[in-house]
Structure 1
Amino acid sequence: MFAFQKINQLKGGAALSYVTIFLTNIVGLLLTPFIIRSLGSAEYGLYTMIGALIGYMSVLDFGLNNTVVQFVAKFKAEKDKKGEENFLAHSFIMYTCISLIVVIVGFSIYFNLENLYGETLTPDQFEKAKIMMVILIFNLAISLPGGAFQGICSGYEEFILPKTVNIIRYIVRSLLVVVVLLYGGDSIGLVILDTIMNLIIIVANIYIVFKILGVKIKLHKYDKSLFYNILGFSLWLFVFAIVHQLRWQFGQLIIGAFYSTTFVAIYAVGITLGNYYGAFSGAISGVFLPKAIQMTVGNIPKKQLTDTFIKISRIILLVLLFILGGFVIVGKDFVFFWVGKEYEMAYYYAIIIMVGLTPILSQGFANNILEAKQLLKYRGLLLLLLTVIGTVISILIVKSYGIISMILVTVFFLLLERILMIPYYVKKANLDMKRYYKEISPLFLHVIIATGVGLIIRSFLPEKNIYVFIVNSMIYTILFFSLTKYFITDFEKTFIKSLITKILTKINWSK
């Protein structure tokens, strides 16, 4: 009975993960232009800039939320209830210290806001920034320890209820955003709304943890070594979080220091499109990677491991390159219809970001092998070093050479990291990278041909016409998939046929 419930939790949790991905992407696409038009570009830029500033502070959790998942799952598997209670007590002591640090760091930034943005913000924007900052400091101070309860649920493999709560929260929040803005609300109103919604989610997860799962938090014995174990496990998760913030959030802070908030808004739209691009990869990876990671536990031969790596990468690349090629052809029109003419530069930002993300997103399996073998140190240090260098260069050049120079620097270091990781993947992950690149290269020829022909056709048609946009999208899609059969393997043909069969079966069943 327990095994059956566990399987249901895993399947239900996986299904709800896809629902979440669908919601965040579709609703986000619909909601973003409404928020921009309601707030105006300048205030939307202010909203995203202050959000990025607080988001940067969120790394102060030191990866503790993910650590809670791992340790709780471990104690539960060992049926060590006392150890679990003691671990959670130690964790919340750490969370209390972290929340205190967040408040101290947050108000240190608050009292220096004028030094950071005094030259680029208007007096009205500056006052709004200060109010948002105070609310978001409080939000983060409660959200970090509140996230532990989500981690406990995951450690107990209780996925359905928390994910359902999150989906409901996302839908309600989206509807309330519309209501707030329709009734004249501004960026401060959105920040207050998000804080209230976070409080509700934390209370819901606390109820699940204590009332439904019956978890207890009790300090049985103070154990200094346990603190070190927790920090040791979460160190590299913390490093990866810093890297992510430096790459994608710090840019908004740099731009805000040198340019008006309107430029921040345009950059934020480019980043948002890049995030949507990455979400498609995450959806596919979730299907393949759990099974693939299990292969690293045994002594799997190099050929078999590389075969799996290539299969996963090619499927992900097929989707990513289709999106990338289509965005090159119709992306400028899409941005125009989505958020307006003044955001045209976001199209170019997004293309550069997508190019940089493509090799990273398609090679996720290689990083999972390193994680399974607990070999994160080298990549963590390499990422941190390259990202810090890239950030320093960005600060030095962005004022003189523009925002696009900063994005080019970020992408250059993204691609450099991929190149420098090749020998490590060969040596430590036991992958045949030479064969890997040889077998994925036809997909790039595929997208180059489809995109090239699509651009030629596009050049003869008018711009910023919704009907032309639809026709162009259809022409590219037909062209891409007409060429696909010449570039894909038998495995991929079988996979696509199986996927189509499943979809058609579900449609017929629903009828």
Structure 2
Amino acid sequence: MKSQIKAGAILSYVALVINSSISLLYTPVMLKLLGQSEYGLYSLATSVAGYVGVLNFGLGNAVIRYTAKYRALKDEENCSRLYGMFSIMYGVLGGIALIIGTILTLTADSIFSSSLDVDEINKLKTLMVIMVINISIGIGFGFFSVVVLAYERFVFQKILSIIGATVVPLIMLPLLIMGYGSVSIAIVTTAINFIIIVINMYYCFKVLRIKVVFKKIEIGLLKEILGFSSLIFLNLIIDKIYWSTDQVILGIYSGAAAISIYTIGVSFTGYFSGLATAISNVFLSRITGMVTKKASDKEISDLFIKISRIQYIILSFVLGGFIVFGQEFIHLWVGKEYNEAFIIAIIILVPMIVSLVQSIGGIILQAKNMQGFKSIIYVVTSFVNVVISIIFVKWWGAIGSALGTAVAFTIGNIIIMNIYYWKKINIDIPRFWANITRMSFAFGASLVFGMTLNRWILAYKWQELFVKIILFSIIYICLMWLTGMNKYEKDTFREVIRNIVYRFKRKKVIQDTSSNTD
């Protein structure tokens, strides 16, 4: 399983690079073919329908947690009964999601009538119908994709994810060029997601050979699972408030164009989140095992700092590059009319980096079943976010909405949660910050270098931008290697490079052999 974890982490980054590359190439094409207004409508529909997505109730993490527990105990009978119970729960939640999504769709005109015209509202409702069906099916049958994760078959899951992410734009581009618009995007996405669900079901029964047994539900176990999942469910709601409510607020007060600009800015948070969670998510089963075996606080702290350091190396590199070159990139990528998106992205990303570096902390809380306090804090700060954002939107539009999110994020995710990790979970937070401080010289010096470089070369051309990014990358890597990375991180970096070189050489040898045979 160690090879699966390592391969899973590597493939997570491969998937992230592919998904990000597709998004970066696909987004400007979508904007051009759809227009700013329809792109804003599509983003608004995604945000509103996305609220239905939280109705999976956080059961995915419960499936992983209890599967790891029963597999560690080699208790196949109870594991099969557990799967029967989860199947029923997922099905019921899928039905509830469909009902609530339908209600949201029917009330969309009364919510957004002040900022959207009749045609825009009708298109919004059509998009929401398709997206609600997609999400409801995903919830109802989502159990099977989670089982694949629970069995730590990360390679299969990531490859499937990569294929899905690649196929959608390949189908969509011809349809957009033919003028089918945002509705066709929603339909194609739904169809691909359904196919992926069927593949996951086949894999679970034919490859993993899981058994789903429907017997009398143990009330005690059900209460335990609901208690565990309810806190994660609360976190999902709060997360949705943090990252989707701003679009809804803008939809009420500002209109589709403002949503479009904000969506471009906030999209960069998705890339950063993906970088952070690509590693941390594959450790849930491992950390659950450590907790079950009564691992010491020092062992947990060591893992927390070890993973956080790696995430900081990656995230500070990307954040530094974005701070220096982000505005120029957005100008070239989607046009100067979206320059405000850079300010929105920076306002949110700077405080967000701390929480993302510490994302393994959330995994530890789940494994320990101690996420209650985090949920309470997030509830409070999420409502603070909504209140501040509504006030700030009236003053500064999309930038005000970003400021509200950043203030709430700093209070809840950084200040309060760091104190909680330290005092309650016994994670050595002072040692964590000492590590981050020592590593930050490379980040700061690279920023100074990049800003100086920008004073010399700011031509708003792709060629010059790529040259500057390469120079920035060389400086950052050299400085981090010399002043920030420890032996483990250097060895890991060397191993990754060796594997890449080995695979390249092996591929070349195979190609040469094939050519000689021909």
Cα distance in 1 for partners of 2:418, 2:161 equals: 38
Distance 1:79 1:298 in 2: 18
Aligned match for 1:431, one of 427, 432, 443: 427
Given the alignment, which residue of 348, 352, 373 partners 2:343? 348
Residue 273 of structure 2 aligns with an amino acid whose one-letter code is G
Partner Cα distance (1:252, 1:332) in 2: 22
Out of 432, 437, 445, the position equivalent to 1:441 is 437
Instruction: Give secondary structure in 1 for the equivalent of 2:399.
Output: helix
Distance 2:157 2:313 in 1: 33
Does the 8 Å CA contact 1:271/1:350 hold for their aligned counterparts? yes
Hey, what's the Cα distance between the residues in 2 that align with 1:99 and 1:365? 29
* Partner SS state of residue 483, structure 2: coil
Q: Pick from 59, 64, 69: which aligns with 1:64?
A: 59
Task: Give the equivalent residue in structure 2 for 1:282.
Answer: 277
Asked if structure 2 preserves the Cα contact closer than 8 Å seen for 1:82 and 1:220, the reply is no
Q: Distance in 1 between matches of 2:35 and 2:331?
A: 16
Distance 1:235 1:42, change over 3 A: same
> What is the match of residue 235 of structure 1?
230
More moved, 286-295 vs 238-247: 286-295
In the comparison of the two structures, how many residue pairs are matched? 505
User: What is the aligned partner in structure 1 of residue 191 from structure 2?
Assistant: 196
Query: How far off is 1:53 after superposition?
Result: 0.7
User: Is it true that 1:250 corresponds to 2:245 in the alignment?
Assistant: yes
Relative to structure 1, the CA distance from residue 81 to residue 185 in structure 2 (aligned partners, 3 Å threshold; closer, same or farther) is same
Are 2:448 and 1:452 aligned?
yes
What does residue 511 of structure 2 align with?
none
Contact 1:292 1:308 in 2 (8 A): no
Q: What is the letter of the counterpart of residue 144 of structure 1?
A: I
Deviation at 1:362, TM superposition (A): 1.3
**CA–CA distance in structure 2, aligned partners of residues 440 and 77 of structure 1:** 35
Q: What are the residue-to-residue correspondences of 1:79-228 with 2, within 5 Å?
A: 80-228=75-223
2:347–2:402 CA contact under 8 A, matched in 1: yes
- Taking the TM superposition and a 5 Å limit, the aligned residue runs for 1:361-376 are 361-376=356-371
Q: Which residue of 2 aligns with 1:261?
A: 256
CA 1:475–1:49: 2 relative to 1, 3 Å: same
2:462 aligned with 1:476? no
User: Is the CA contact (8 Å cut-off) linking 2:47 and 2:244 kept in structure 1?
Assistant: yes
2:17 pairs with one of 4, 22, 27: 22
Q: Deviations over 1:288-340 (max 9, x none)?
A: 887777666545364x6555544433332222222112112211111122112
TM-score, with structure 1 as normaliser: 0.89
Deviations 1:389-447 (A, max 9, x none): 21222123312232212212212222222112233222233233333323322433432
Q: Distance in 2 between matches of 1:7 and 1:306?
A: 20
Equivalences for residues 290-369 of structure 1 within 5 A: 297-300=293-296, 302=298, 306=301, 308-369=303-364
Question: Separation in 2 of the partners of 1:454 and 1:155?
Answer: 43
Q: Unmatched 5+ residue regions in structure 1?
A: 1-5
The alignment partner of 1:430 has SS state of coil
- Using a 3 Å threshold, how does the CA distance of structure 1 residues 425 and 161 change in structure 2: closer, same or farther? closer
Q: Which moved more, 1:93-102 or 1:499-508?
A: 499-508
Cα distance between partner residues in 2 of 1:489 and 1:24: 28
Aligned twin of 1:504: 501
Match of 2:417 in 1: 421
In structure 2, give the amino acid aligned to 1:174.
Answer: P
Q: Deviations over 1:435-476 (max 9, x none)?
A: 332332243343233212322331233341223322322332
Secondary structure, in 3 states, of the residue corresponding to 1:69?
Answer: helix
Gaps of 5+ in 2: 509-518
Look up the SS of the partner of 1:251 in the other structure.
helix
Q: Does 1:409 align with 2:404?
A: yes
Structure 1 segment 37-56 matched on structure 2, within 5 A: 37-56=32-51
* Aligned residues with identical type, % of pairs: 32
Give how far 1:223 is off. Answer: 4.3
In 2, Cα distance between the equivalents of 1:30 and 1:293? 39
The answer to whether the 8 A contact 2:98-2:133 is kept is yes
Deviation of the 1:384 alpha carbon: 2.0
Provide the rounded CA distance (Å) in 2 between the counterparts of 1:130 and 1:287.
Answer: 37
Relative distance call for 1:429 and 1:389 in structure 2 (3 A) is same
C-alpha separation between the residues in 2 aligned to 1:24 and 1:454? 26
- Cα contact 1:285–1:316 (8 A) shared by 2: no
CA RMSD of aligned residues (A): 2.8
